[in-house]
């Protein structure tokens, strides 16, 4: 047991978590992208679908920034958080803090990999054809310009707004409507858990510690 604990240091645990998340995320994305046409949907239950979509923006399909700017911003954020995790491991931070930070950075890396390489190695997905592997550099987009693959759709509540509701009366209402991927969920869960369980560490962050 002692040797087990000595081997699984926080640093090694962080690396293992990041690798595991990246492997799962990329496997799911590649299987979906190479087996489903764009917009194709597979019903698992009434509240869970595999719905293949692609986006150029942030998590859950948001598009606030230029694609290239967003990709560069992600790379910078990943570098800063990665360095911060390294510093926290060296400083003996709590294991839960390191684990949750690792989830966030792994999720961010997962989506950046789509932007970096998918446009180089895949043909474009469309509603009429399934994407195929192509020789490196001959895909549908350049470096950092690839689209992020999303597939998880959870329409937990599907109803109609009452007629008396301004603007939306009579229209369909879906909760939860965004389509997301495994990397998105890791970022979201990790971030929320940090806010709940690691407020002390977050309150002590300063630029001098990055």
Instruction: Confirm if 105 and 85 have CB atoms less than 8 A apart.
Output: yes
Task: Please say whether the dihedral angle defined by the alpha carbons of residues 174, 189, 108 and 139, taken in this order, is positive or negative.
Answer: negative
- Tell me how far CA of residue 149 lies from CA of 5, 15, 87, 144, in angstroms: 37, 24, 32, 14
Q: Is 184 a catalytic residue?
A: yes
Residue 115 structure tokens: 């932007």
Tally of helices (H runs) and strands (E runs) in the chain:
7, 6
Q: Is 114 a catalytic residue?
A: no
From the list 10, 51, 114, 150, the catalytic residue is 150
In whole angstroms, what separates CA 72 from the centre of its chain? 16
Burial class (CB in 10 A: 0-12, 13-18, 19+), 150: buried
Question: Which positions are annotated as active-site residues?
Answer: 150, 184
């Amino acid at each position: 047991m002692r040797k087990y604990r000595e081997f699984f240091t926080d640093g090694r645990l962080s690396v293992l978590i990041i690798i595991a998340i990246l492997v799962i995320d990329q496997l799911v994305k590649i299987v979906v992208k190479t087996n489903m046409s764009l917009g194709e949907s597979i019903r698992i239950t009434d509240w869970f679908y595999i719905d293949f979509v692609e986006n150029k923006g942030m998590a859950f399909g948001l598009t606030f920034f230029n694609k290239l700017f967003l990709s560069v911003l992600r790379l910078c954020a990943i570098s800063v958080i990665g360095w911060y995790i390294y510093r926290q491991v060296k400083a003996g931070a709590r294991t839960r803090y390191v684990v949750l930070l690792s989830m966030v950075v792994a999720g961010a890396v997962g989506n950046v990999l789509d932007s970096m390489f998918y446009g180089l190695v895949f043909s474009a997905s469309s509603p009429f054809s399934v994407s195929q592997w192509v020789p490196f550099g001959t895909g549908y987009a350049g470096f950092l310009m690839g689209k992020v693959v999303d597939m998880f759709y959870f329409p937990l509540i599907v109803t109609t707004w009452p007629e008396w509701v301004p603007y939306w009366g009579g229209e369909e209402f879906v909760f939860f409507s965004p389509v997301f991927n495994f990397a998105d969920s890791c970022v979201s869960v990790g971030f929320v858990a940090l806010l709940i369980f690691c407020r002390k560490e977050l309150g002590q962050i300063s630029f001098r510690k990055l």
